[in-house]
């Protein structure tokens, strides 16, 4: 099957077959990252603009490396160094960029829905690199790729997601993607950070505490506290959060022996994760980062029409 979407805005929009196609392509393209010369001509002549309205290190760098390994020309624009600081609207910025004939705009924006707004107004492809507390599809895909590489499947996995569910775009993309692929997601977090009705998104169970979520889990996904997205203080203290929702070696023993620990980064060591857990043999955090390049190569490849890879 071919990939029928001009844009990739949300995993909620993708079918099981389309997610499988993206993961299979990423698996195939990951071989390029192991070569001495890490470049193929697949997207030669294409222009990718990375438009980031929020600070990012790993996502922006990962998209830039992905574009360059496919031989596309990558241009990076951050809001602090663009005409946004002079009052230019998103629509005007998009129209000016479009006049330069890019093929793909990869955007991160603090407002949920900004990508859908942009995609309806430009003829080039738009890829969501994170919008507000809505979705982060490339992170969801690289998380699923990491799990599939470990277990050989996604169907039937128990995945515990712990932390600030309300403000986490990663959690939403993971929930949409994983439940579409047949996993069962167990959520735990402070009541002030658990959206009402979140269990209606799919095969999702909201647990009374973290231990219930982690018990016999195949994957334990810890989320970063999103202090920058909280309109008010939702926690009594970081110490209390760490006590009840931080992953330490004792709580990790409740998961299956071959369980993996994941985190979208950046890690608040000693808050969401004990350092000994972040660096243990079960940690797949750096594998997630490595898989990010392959997944983003697959996303760029498919929105450009999926020409043969040399």
Q: Which residues are catalytic?
A: 58-59, 86, 108, 136
153 is in an annotated binding site: no
172 is in an annotated binding site: no
Nearby residues of 225 by Cβ (< 8 Å), 6 or more positions away: 163, 164, 235, 238, 241, 268, 271, 272
Distance CA 77, CA 296 (A): 18
In order of 172, 193, 233, 267, 274, the CA distances from 198 in angstroms are 9, 11, 21, 24, 27
226 is in an annotated binding site: no
224 is in an annotated binding site: yes
136 is in an annotated binding site: yes
Nearby residues of 191 by Cβ (< 8 Å), 6 or more positions away: none
16 is in an annotated binding site: no
Which pair of structure tokens corresponds to residue 115? 């990508």
CA neighbours closer than 13 Å in the CB half-sphere of residue 272: 24
Q: How far is CA 84 from the centre of its chain?
A: 25
- For 186, the 3-state DSSP assignment is strand
Which one-letter DSSP state was computed for residue 270? T
Which pair of structure tokens corresponds to residue 222? 């810890």
Q: Which residues are annotated as a binding site for L-aspartate?
A: 86, 169, 224
Q: Which residues are annotated as a binding site?
A: 58-59, 86, 108, 136, 139, 169, 224, 265-266
Q: Which residues are annotated as a binding site for carbamoyl phosphate?
A: 58-59, 108, 136, 139, 265-266
């Amino acid at each position: 099957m071919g990939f029928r979407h001009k844009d990739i805005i949300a995993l909620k929009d993708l079918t099981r077959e389309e997610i499988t196609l993206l993961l299979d392509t990423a698996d195939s393209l990951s071989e390029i990252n192991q070569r001495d010369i890490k470049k193929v001509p697949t997207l030669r002549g294409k222009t990718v603009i990375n438009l980031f309205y929020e600070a990012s290190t790993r996502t922006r760098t990962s998209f830039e490396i992905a574009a360059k390994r496919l031989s596309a020309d990558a241009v990076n624009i951050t809001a602090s160094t663009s005409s946004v600081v002079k009052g230019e609207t998103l629509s005007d910025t998009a129209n000016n960029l479009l006049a330069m004939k890019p093929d793909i705009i990869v955007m991160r924006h603090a407002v949920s829905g900004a990508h859908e707004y942009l995609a309806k107004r430009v003829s080039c492809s738009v890829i969501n690199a994170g919008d507000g507390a809505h979705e982060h599809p490339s992170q969801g895909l690289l998380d699923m790729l990491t799990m599939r590489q470990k277990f050989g499947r996604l169907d039937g996995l128990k995945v515990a997601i712990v932390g600030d569910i309300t403000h986490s775009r990663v959690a939403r993309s993971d929930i949409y993607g994983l439940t579409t692929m047949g996993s069962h997601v167990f959520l735990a977090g402070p009541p002030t950070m658990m959206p009402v009705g979140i269990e209606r998104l799919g095969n999702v169970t909201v647990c009374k505490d973290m231990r219930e979520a982690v018990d016999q889990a195949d994957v334990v996904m810890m989320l970063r506290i999103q202090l920058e997205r909280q309109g008010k203080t939702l926690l009594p203290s970081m110490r209390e959060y760490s006590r009840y929702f931080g992953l330490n070696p004792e709580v990790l023993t409740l998961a299956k022996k071959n369980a993996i620990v994941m985190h979208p980064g950046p890690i608040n060591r000693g808050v969401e994760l004990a350092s000994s857990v972040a660096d243990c043999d079960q940690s797949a955090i750096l594998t997630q980062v490595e898989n990010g390049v392959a997944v983003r190569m697959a996303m760029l490849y498919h929105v450009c029409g999926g020409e043969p890879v040399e």
